[in-house]
Amino acid sequence: MTDRYTQFVDHGIGRDIAKRLGLPQPVALRRYQPGEPLAPGPVLIQGTGPGADALARELLGWNVDVRRHAEPKEKLGAVVLVLDDVAHPSELGRPVLAMGASLRDLAAGGRIVTISRTASSAESPAVAAARQGVEGMLRSLARELRAGATGNGLLLRDGVETTSPGVLAALRFFLSGRSAFVDGQFLTISTDDGGLPGNPDRPLDGRVAVVTGAARGIGAAIARVLRRDGAKLVLVDVPASGDHLAAMANEVHGTALQLDITSQDAGERIIRHAVERHGRLDIMVHNAGITRDKLLANMDGAKWDSVIAVNISAQLAINEVLLQSDHFRESPRIVSVASTSGIAGNRGQTNYSASKAGVMGMVRASAPQLQKIGGGINAVAPGFIETDMTARIPFATREMARRLNSLQQGGQPVDVAEAISFLASNAAAGINGEVLRVCGQNLVGA
Ligand code: NAI
């Protein structure tokens, strides 16, 4: 769906009018193009500990223009603030204020990334306070950034180094245009597993992936991005969407499997189809989902049950089959699509929010099972994304939902797809049981 307001205020007279009237000024976001530089200018690594030095050395090997000190008046593509060794809130001021001095020099579409440690793993109250303080600071800072710049953070569990593969992979994701609509979010890196792909433009080379609900919307975007990143694809959708599904399968050189994911044998059919075509299955993307909105007082059993059946029960049943299959054993990865409605709640969506919160619970509880077989499972929680689903929202409500985030616009299906492709890759092996919001830092929710 077209966001005409964003197009109007992106340049010229439209931009001047919006500025004069104090209206929202969304800009076109910096989105990923294969072969483009990772950041729109030099990357400044701040922080004085050994973790910052080691990270700066590592980034030099990426063909990135790395700085340890800002040059006066030089535009920066990104600032990475390494705070992995803070032990007391009183230690935050100096490095954070030093970063603040660089903010005016951040290029359009620039990035701020903090690297710190999880507060939950700190035993000392002062250490926990300092670590949690980083999270509060970054969330507020992200709301202060303009011109499509974003701020996100990496949270390392104790024992994970700043140069471990999972940290580098997630840092690459946050610095790149792949994370255009991810803002004010944290990713937790739990282990040293994973590794950067040989070719960063094709992180899924040769991997076999299934995407449900792939005939249109976000699912179609996921199929395109996974294909671009090198995956071989099986696309699933209901028989009623057969024509669209076949067209998508043709476009991405994949195969189509017409299947209602709530049918009893869905898991077996998915595995059988993938094995017949490709010999195995590596990546399962649970994207298919429906809404049947009603205030709870007016909700009937059919509306409640159908949403729960498609959005969460089907995923649970399919995962159970995959986890028992010998054909889902080569660093298998599952990525589920949740929703910010499952985090913050949404009027008229008790059924949908129950199902999407359920996805997050499922992902957390399944993580140890996946880890046992050398894999991982994570969820992506989109906010307002421009699709047929959101085009049906009445105009005034839609405009509100679109603008009430730090980037003042809705996300595109490709933004969700980029996050899914990253979490589906082996580079994200250190990330397990997490939920990543792709919501432009919605004003609602955690
Ligand atoms: P959409 O309605 O455009 O596409 C959903 C696809 O899933 C359709 O092709 C549909 O035929 C398929 N599907 C539905 N039930 C199925 C079943 N039983 N078996 C197989 N396929 C089935 O929806 P959209 O917007 O692309 O959403 C995709 C996912 O993203 C959903 O899980 C949705 O809940 C989630 N989401 C979307 C947001 C948005 O702003 N559009 C925000 C947050 C989450």
For range 274-290, the mean pLDDT: 98
* Cβ atoms of residues 219 and 245 within 8 Å: no
The answer to whether residues 309 and 410 touch, using CB atoms and an 8 Å cutoff, is no
Q: Does this chain's domain 31-189 share its CATH topology with 208-438?
A: yes
Mean pLDDT, residues 123-149: 97
Q: 288 C-alpha vs ligand 1 centroid, how far in Å?
A: 4
Q: What is the mean pLDDT of residues 301-309?
A: 98
pLDDT band at 390 (very low <50, low <70, confident <90, very high): confident
SS3 111: strand
* DSSP tag of 385: B
Per-residue model confidence (pLDDT) at position 294? 96
Nearest-angstrom CA–CA distance, 220 and 207: 18
Question: How many of the other CB atoms lie within 10 Å of CB of 432?
Answer: 25
Using a 6 Å cutoff on CB, does residue 411 contact ligand 1? no
pTM (two decimals): 0.95
Question: For position 383, what pLDDT does the model report?
Answer: 95
Which atom of ligand 1 is nearest to 389's Cα? 25
Report the percent of the chain where pLDDT is more than 70. 96
Nearest to 346 by CA among 357, 359, 332: 357
**Band of residue 446 on the pLDDT scale cut at 50, 70, 90:** very low
- Residue type at position 416: V
What is the residue with the minimal CA distance to atom 44 of ligand 1? 339
Mean of the pLDDT values across residues 281-292? Answer: 97
Write out pLDDT tens, residues 206-257.
999 999 999 999 999 999 999 999 999 999 999 999 999 999 999 999 999 9
368-372, long-range: CB within 8 Å, 24+ apart, which pairs?
368/433, 369/323, 370/323, 370/332, 370/333, 370/334, 370/432, 371/432
Residues whose CB falls within 8 Å of the CB of residue 347, separated by 6 or more in sequence, listed in order: 295
Q: In a mutational test of the pocket of ligand 1, which residue from 3, 290, 349, 360 has the highest number of ligand atoms less than 8 Å from its CB?
A: 290
Give all strands (DSSP E) within 170-254, no chain letters. Answer: 186-189, 208-212, 232-237
Contact 313 CB / ligand 1 (< 6 Å): no
Average pLDDT over every residue of 119-128: 94
Q: Where residue 396 falls among pLDDT bands split at 50, 70, 90? A: confident
195-204, 264-273, 332-341, range with the lowest pLDDT? 195-204
Residue 309 buriedness (CB in 10 A; 0-12 / 13-18 / 19+): middle
Residue 397: is it exposed, middle or buried by C-beta count within 10 angstroms (0-12/13-18/19+)?
exposed
Indicate the range of 15-24, 104-113, 145-154 predicted with least confidence.
15-24
Q: Pick the range with the lowest mean pLDDT from 24-33, 153-162, 287-296.
A: 24-33
Sign of CA dihedral 118, 70, 163, 333: positive
Q: How far apart are CA 365 and CA 376, in angstroms?
A: 11
CB-based contacts of 73: which residues, under 8 Å, 6+ apart? Answer: 105
CATH fold of the domain at 31-189:
Rossmann fold (3.40.50)
Q: Indicate whether 175 pLDDT > 90.
A: yes
| C-beta 389 within 6 A of ligand 1 | yes
- Crossing angle of helices 217-228 and 242-251, rounded to 10°: 20
> What does the domain layout of the chain look like in residue ranges?
31-189, 208-438
Tell me the mean pLDDT in the region 68-92: 94
Cα 214 to middle of ligand 1, angstroms: 8
Mean pLDDT of 287-305: 97
* Residue 356 Cα: closest atom of ligand 1: 34
CA-nearest of 259, 322, 282 to 425 is: 282
Tell which one of 216, 225, 389, 414 to mutate to probe ligand 1, the residue whose CB is within 8 A of the most ligand atoms. 389
Local structure of 68: helix, strand or coil: coil
Give the CA distances from residue 153 to residues 82, 149, 187, in Å, rounded to whole numbers and listed in that order: 10, 14, 7
For residue 382, which atom of ligand 1 is closest to its CA?
43
At residue 187, the 3 state secondary structure works out as strand
Q: Please, which pLDDT band fits residue 343 given cuts at 50, 70 and 90?
A: very high
Could you give the C-alpha distances from 160 to 47, 125, 146, 415, in angstroms and in order? 17, 21, 32, 28
Tell me the CATH number for domain 208-438: 3.40.50.720
Instruction: Name the band, by pLDDT with cuts 50, 70 and 90, for residue 444.
Output: low
Strands 232-237 and 208-212: parallel
Mean of the per-residue pLDDT values of the chain: 93
pLDDT of residue 14: 66
Positions marked catalytic: 352
Q: How far is CA 149 from the centre of its chain?
A: 16
How far apart are the C-alpha atoms of 413 and 227, rounded to whole Å? 15
